Structure 1
Amino acid sequence: MIKVMSISGAILLLLGAAGIGWLLLTPSGSEFRYLMADTLITTQHRHWAKYIIGQRQLDARVEAYQQRFNAMGEERDTHEIHPEPQPVMAPVSSSAEEQEQPVVKPLVEIEEISGSGYSGYVMTVNDPTKIRIGVPEKKGRGERVRSMVERTGAIAGVNGGGFADPNWQGNGFQPIGIVMSGGKLFYNDLGKSRSTQVVGIDGNGKMVAGRYTVEELQQMGVQEAVTFQPRIIVNGKGLIRNAADGWGIAPRTAMGQREDGAILFVVIDGRQPGHSIGANLYDVQQIMLDRGAVIAANLDGGSSTVLVKDDQVLNKPSTKSSEGRYLPTAFLVFEHPEQAQIANVWEGLKASDIDPGKW
């Protein structure tokens, strides 16, 4: 018995040594280590990545990604949208009852998707002018997307931009960068001359993504916008070169637009073995390209990722609550967006007035 245990122990030691050697000394092992590190970097346990690649490599990798993300936002987008006219349903005479009737697309369409290690949804909004940025109702605390949808009478909603999150326990109230809703600047911590990477929509329903100043956005007639990055498709071409550049495996939310104007929201669950591990940005880019996106950008993902339709959370957020986190912004879809009551909850507040960690 002792001999068998000794042999088993020796085998385990050899396998462990071989595994460590593979991780440290082979190209495929190094690739796997950096994938693990990138995945941790997108979570509340970023500091753990240093035990996989070292603190120096961790800092260098985060800086390299930031520089690349910045560069991905510089090319000016020139895409144009050509919305398809919706057929008008006229009264049908008895003599024409059997004729084929024109098809009216629903405002919102939901498609389930799956791939290697992930599952999620694509929500298509066929009229991009029906989208507004929603914000919390009460000062000092973010709001869950389902609550925003229910309170405002929206049809659907998806999480939006980034926010200050000290110790990954923030209250979801302080956005990062800017927030625009209904053509008004709700929040700005940039200053007049600084630019930021935005994801938004102008007054004609054209999606805007890339690096802009507030003045540029206002001149362009942008109505709805939040700050987040990176842009992953511009002028019809993907910017993420391969899976290794995909910033690890995580829950994802992204927004794109087809040439016909339809807005695509990709929502992918993650961090849930047996259901969905997550996707990298290359996966998300390819999902968008396969569906005809000519522009697309990443939105806040991770435990913020949530999709709501008809007051129900469709996906499975990677949070203790099945309804996701408290957030500062969401993309909301309305039948009549001009009637939506969305007030500026940050009016009169400066960034220095907000404690993002206090509930």
Structure 2
Amino acid sequence: MALQQTASRLPPRKTGKGRRKKSTGMGVILYTLIGFTGLSLVALCWFFLTSSGTSVRLMMADTIITTQHRDWAKYLIGSDELKKRVDAYTKNFEEMGVEKDKGFVDLGKNSTKPSTVKKELVKIDPISGSNFKGYLVTISDPKKVRIAVPEKAGKGEKVSSMVKRTGAILGVNGGGFNDPNWEGNGFQPEGIVISGGKIFYNDKGVNGSVQVVGIDKEGRMIAGKYKVSELVEMGVKEAVSFSPRFIVNGVGQIKSQADGWGIAPRTSMAQTKDGSILFCIIDGRQKNSIGATLYDVQQIFLDHGAVTAANLDGGASTVLVHNNAIVNKPSSEYGERYLPTAWLVYDHPETANIKNVWEGLDIRKIDPSKW
């Protein structure tokens, strides 16, 4: 009896089936880890050692270069290659701005008959590509466009605020600005600002050269590299600074996607042969719209007859406002940025109350990081 009770307390004996099940489970995990490691090594070899992988890696690096985390690109391409690519883009952008305009835009001066067809002033069409969504704005009369600036010194202003305050029909963001750590107050532009034929801001001096995007007194778009004195002689009425000019005399200057300066939100401006101004607004850094390269924007403009085109500030600054409503989806989680300049469209631009907010200020003493 005692023997039977003792035997009943002994643990059950493991069968060969249980051992096989445990062994099989460990094998599956082991083979999965080996397979994952092998695939990771293959992917890394493709990413760093093949031409197709390198193309993807460089595109990713160029995309990062357009953000506030530019230095992160070094983890993909190294510090030396990062500097090399930034220098190369700067050099290419400078070269794109040198060729002189051949006057392909016809503003109707040579026509013997005045046009009886009345075009709508503002037209907005949705556009899209494989990685992006956005809008193409057509302004039929280039003389209806003005550069607006903030109302108060010391801080930029949202485009939607400029539109509402000055009674504009439409507005898009304008030129570049001093933006320390991408946290600037949006008050200090870079280069030059001209509005209503008057120089509002100039950090280059009279004989300094600057990359501009502007419109002259005849309504012709001016883009590229010019001396400030040249801009005055040419009668430029509205202008901001940014680059590059990427369509010159009807010819696209960006040869491929690989040269398109990464994928990002974009704002760009162009002019067609009949004088119409085009604005291309591309959303980016979002699930349904990653962004576009400048090559993408170039092709959109060429498809719509542009003979001149230039880049404007993009990224988190990209915004389109129409009838006091934001049309696109700015990439920043905080919404619109505070900016120093915007392109605004008016029925009667001569009546727009746009004052020089930098008048009387020593621009050398502006602190762009102080809110």
TM score, norm. by length of structure 1: 0.94
Question: In the alignment, which residue of structure 2 is the partner of 1:331?
Answer: 343
Distance between the aligned counterparts of 1:233 and 1:280, measured in 2?
A: 14
Distance between the aligned counterparts of 1:83 and 1:202, measured in 2?
A: 12
SS, match of residue 300 in structure 2: helix
Question: In the alignment, which residue of structure 2 is the partner of 1:176?
Answer: 190
Aligned letter for 1:351? I
**Gapped regions of structure 2 (runs ≥ 5):** 1-24, 109-113
Aligned letter for 1:17? L
SS, match of residue 70 in structure 1: helix
Equivalent of 2:354, from 337, 342, 351? 342
Equivalent of 2:254, from 240, 245, 261? 240
Q: Give, in angstroms, the shift of residue 191 of structure 1.
A: 1.8
Question: In the alignment, which residue of structure 1 is the partner of 2:44?
Answer: 20
Cα-Cα RMSD:
1.0
Aligned letter for 1:39? T
Say whether 1:167 aligns with 2:181. yes
Q: Give, in angstroms, the shift of residue 230 of structure 1.
A: 0.2
SS, match of residue 136 in structure 2: strand
Q: Give, in angstroms, the shift of residue 193 of structure 1.
A: 1.8
Query: Which residues in structure 2 correspond to 1:157-236 (within 5 Å)?
Result: 157-236=171-250
Q: Give, in angstroms, the shift of residue 126 of structure 1.
A: 0.2
Question: In the alignment, which residue of structure 2 is the partner of 1:90?
Answer: none
Question: In the alignment, which residue of structure 2 is the partner of 1:271?
Answer: 285
Q: Give, in angstroms, the shift of residue 83 of structure 1.
A: 3.7
Say whether 1:301 aligns with 2:314. yes
Distance between the aligned counterparts of 1:351 and 1:233, measured in 2?
A: 33
Q: Give, in angstroms, the shift of residue 299 of structure 1.
A: 0.4
Distance between the aligned counterparts of 1:24 and 1:6, measured in 2?
A: 27
Distance between the aligned counterparts of 1:220 and 1:248, measured in 2?
A: 34
Question: In the alignment, which residue of structure 2 is the partner of 1:58?
Answer: 82
Query: Which residues in structure 2 correspond to 1:136-151 (within 5 Å)?
Result: 136-151=150-165
Aligned letter for 1:340? A
SS, match of residue 296 in structure 2: helix
SS, match of residue 38 in structure 1: helix
Aligned letter for 2:340? P
Q: Give, in angstroms, the shift of residue 342 of structure 1.
A: 0.2
Distance between the aligned counterparts of 2:307 and 2:254, measured in 1?
A: 14
**Gapped regions of structure 1 (runs ≥ 5):** 88-102
Q: Give, in angstroms, the shift of residue 107 of structure 1.
A: 0.5
Question: In the alignment, which residue of structure 2 is the partner of 1:79?
Answer: 103
Equivalent of 2:118, from 84, 87, 104? 104
Question: In the alignment, which residue of structure 2 is the partner of 1:100?
Answer: none
Identity, in percent, stands at 60
Query: Would the aligned equivalents of 1:179 and 1:187 in 2 still touch at CA under 8 Å?
Result: yes
Q: Give, in angstroms, the shift of residue 350 of structure 1.
A: 2.6
Distance between the aligned counterparts of 2:107 and 2:201, measured in 1?
A: 31
Distance between the aligned counterparts of 1:81 and 1:31, measured in 2?
A: 37
Query: Would the aligned equivalents of 2:107 and 2:219 in 1 still touch at CA under 8 Å?
Result: no
